[in-house]
């Protein structure tokens, strides 16, 4: 069977920016060999930023302050989770401090931008899942992460369904606007999949976008075309202070 590129879906947005939240306490927990084999206490929605994440968010604010007027967002939509809302709050404060001429940006929260729900494995690093339920680890590897649905949770394909609903509604209420979403890796990947067009291949081989990274889709004719993916250049300038 011949596979072609996805069919372009016309979009009314003027442009779209997507920021993954800065480093969270869960990111640090998952990457530390001392904790990566056991679940983190608390709830996913309540995970805060680390001190390094606060610094990354300030760098994002400096980036935002330097955007040209035509690219500057006129609407921000956040995930309801704490780490995304704190990322945006620190960003907005840093941007205002760097560029006094900036006006406050209209900000909304939409629950469809929440992270992938992991059900019984909430706040479980992958190694902790393998340790607790090795059969689930094997099932995930067998079917692939895009369609794997943990008990009581979502697959990445499920995330894409709710993100598509969000994007379709956003297209109607924010036509012509530059929009910034502050969200999670699963949502950013879903945005890429949806905006690649109808019939686009499943992005199951994409690596997670980095914390505090920026992706951008620019208007080209009737479509939004990917121009920046997972950029972290704004974090390099002051890396010695992070």
H helical segments located in 32-184: 51-66, 82-98, 126-132, 134-143, 156-173
User: Domains in the chain and their CATH numbers?
Assistant: 15-241 (3.40.50.1240)
Q: Please give the backbone phi and psi of residue 16, each rounded to the nearest 5 degrees, phi first.
A: -140, 130
User: By C-alpha distance, which of 110, 5, 68, 55 is closest to 232?
Assistant: 55
Give exposure, 104-126, as e/b (b: 16+ Cβ within 10 Å): ebebebbebbbbbbbeebbbbbe
pTM: 0.94
- Determine the Cα–Cα distance for residues 203 and 193; give it in Å rounded to an integer: 6
Q: 16 exposed, middle or buried (CB, 10 Å; 0-12, 13-18, 19+)?
A: buried
User: By C-alpha distance, which of 209, 191, 208 is closest to 200?
Assistant: 191
pLDDT digits (tens, 9 = 90+) for 45-101: 999 999 999 999 999 999 999 998 899 999 999 999 999 999 999 999 999 999 998
pLDDT digits (tens, 9 = 90+) for 191-242: 999 999 999 999 988 899 999 999 999 999 999 999 999 999 999 865 443 3
Of the given ranges (57-61, 113-117, 131-135, 185-189), which has the lowest mean pLDDT? 131-135
- Determine the Cα–Cα distance for residues 226 and 18; give it in Å rounded to an integer: 11
| Tokens standing for residue 120 | 């019984």
pLDDT digits (tens, 9 = 90+) for 134-184: 999 999 999 999 999 999 999 999 999 999 999 999 999 999 999 999 999
User: By C-alpha distance, which of 177, 173, 178, 205 is closest to 189?
Assistant: 205
- Determine the Cα–Cα distance for residues 55 and 52; give it in Å rounded to an integer: 5
For the chain, helix, strand, coil in percent to 5 are: 40, 15, 40
How far are the Cα atoms of 23, 109, 118, 173, 177 from residue 242, in angstroms, in the given order?
11, 28, 30, 38, 33
């Amino acid at each position: 069977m011949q596979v072609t590129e996805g069919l372009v879906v016309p979009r009314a947005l003027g442009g779209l920016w997507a920021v993954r939240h800065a480093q969270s306490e869960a990111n640090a927990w998952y990457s530390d060999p001392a904790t990566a084999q056991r679940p983190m206490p608390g709830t996913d929605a309540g995970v805060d930023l680390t001190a390094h994440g606060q610094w990354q968010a300030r760098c994002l604010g400096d980036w935002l302050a330097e955007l040209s007027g035509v690219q500057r967002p006129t609407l921000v939509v956040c995930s309801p989770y704490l780490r995304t809302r704190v990322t945006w709050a620190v960003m907005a404060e840093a941007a205002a401090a760097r560029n006094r001429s900036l006006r406050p940006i209209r900000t909304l929260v939409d629950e469809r931008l929440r992270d992938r729900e992991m059900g019984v494995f909430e706040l479980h690093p992958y190694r902790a899942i393998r340790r607790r339920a090795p059969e689930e680890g094997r099932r995930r590897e067998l079917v692939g992460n895009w369609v794997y649905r943990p008990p009581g949770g979502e697959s990445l394909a499920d995330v894409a369904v709710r993100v598509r609903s969000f994007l379709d509604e956003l297209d109607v209420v924010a036509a012509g606007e530059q929009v910034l979403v502050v969200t999670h890796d699963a949502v950013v990947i879903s945005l890429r999949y949806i905006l690649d067009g109808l019939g686009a291949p499943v992005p199951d081989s994409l690596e997670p976008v980095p914390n505090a990274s920026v992706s951008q889709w620019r208007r080209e004719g009737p479509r939004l075309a990917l121009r920046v993916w997972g950029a972290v250049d704004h974090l390099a300038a002051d890396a010695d202070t992070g």
